[in-house]
Amino acid sequence: MRRSLFALLLLSAVCSSSCRPLRPSKITIGSKFFTEQVVLAEFLAQHIEAKTGIPVVRKTNLGGTLLVHKALLAGELDLYVEYTGTALTAVLNESPNFYSQAAEQNDYSKVVYRRVRELYAERFHVEVTEPLGFENTFVLVIRGDDAKNLQLRTISDLASVALKWRAGVGYEFLERPDGLPGLSARYSLHFAETPKVMDLGLIYRALVDHQVDVVAGNSTDGLIDALSLVALEDDRHYFPPYDAVPIVRQSTLAQFPQLRGALADLAGKLSASDIRRLNYAVDAQHQDAAAVVHSFRASNGL
């Protein structure tokens, strides 16, 4: 009986240790569904692998902001790059107007960053790390010839011709709190027809092909310069700051303490001109994102 009891206890101990779920020995980085996000995911992945040796799984082109955010909270992702203005409005559902009024213009970015960092930690147990060094804001983009011939420089200028023009936007921009409805109200924009909802990868081609006359793009898109397009100035300061920041689950940082230092290494390492060149290489020159990032890291000592 003693032998049987001992064997039972031994079996229980073995099963207890072997049946316990193993903690993953890798991390997963995700991205939204546009080129810059794929580039940034690869940028983080290559740096983390090089500096820590932690294997990284890439899950890119997942979809829009809320889908990627939910994947992070569900543990399907460990980190991805978000933009502070998007986090504030689309995820946290806070109005940027309060912060723009409460802060001096040159401190606006810092105020929004601190608010996002505080609420992400409190609500989601997610850490917002240091900004990468550039902002990617929304821009209304038109053809260069139209800008020159009609003398259009600002979004306010656009109001005079909008009634005859067709607009194209991404599905997210059509409904988000800092998107088209608020922008149209701020600038009194009324277009010839309901804006066309388009894939972000197709909006500039549609503009060049005269399928639409103005599109909502991103300030760091490489195709704006490549296709001789013009981004109109947000002269009424509608859009909040959109600093690019890696966000990571606190549980992942606890499991991989070396990850914190690797992410800190990247603070301020990407300028707007840097990311614009990387986006251009992938979008316009059709280079592989991983190769483009590898070359950038090598030439910048990263």
pLDDT tens, residue by residue, 73-128: 999 999 999 999 999 999 999 887 766 665 555 688 999 999 999 999 999 999 99
pLDDT at 17: 46
CA distance 112 to 128: 12
What does the domain layout of the chain look like in residue ranges?
A: 27-135+241-299, 138-231
Per-residue pLDDT band at 183 (split at 50, 70, 90)? very high
Number of H helices and number of E strands within the chain?
A: 16, 10
Contact 206, 139 (CB under 8 A): no
CA distance 130 to 86: 16
pTM of structure: 0.86
Contact 42, 30 (CB under 8 A): no
Half-sphere exposure (Cβ direction) of 78: Cα atoms closer than 13 Å: 24
Helices 35-52, 289-299: axis angle to 10 degrees equals 50
Higher pLDDT among residues 26 and 5, named by residue? 26
- What is the distance in angstroms between the CA of the first residue and the CA of the last residue of the chain? 65
CATH topology of domain 138-231: D-Maltodextrin-Binding Protein; domain 2 (3.40.190)
| Phi, psi of 52, deg, nearest 5 | -120, -20
| Phi, psi of 172, deg, nearest 5 | -70, -40
pLDDT at 201: 80
Amino acid at 281: A
pLDDT at 80: 98
Look at residue 9 and tell me whether its pLDDT is greater than 50: no
Could you check whether 27-135+241-299 and 138-231 share the same CATH topology?
A: yes
Contact 259, 48 (CB under 8 A): yes
Strand, coil or helix: what is 51?
helix
CA distance 42 to 61: 12
Task: Let me know if domain 27-135+241-299 sits in CATH 3.40.190.10.
Answer: yes
Mean pLDDT of 143-159: 97
Helices 35-52, 258-265: axis angle to 10 degrees equals 130
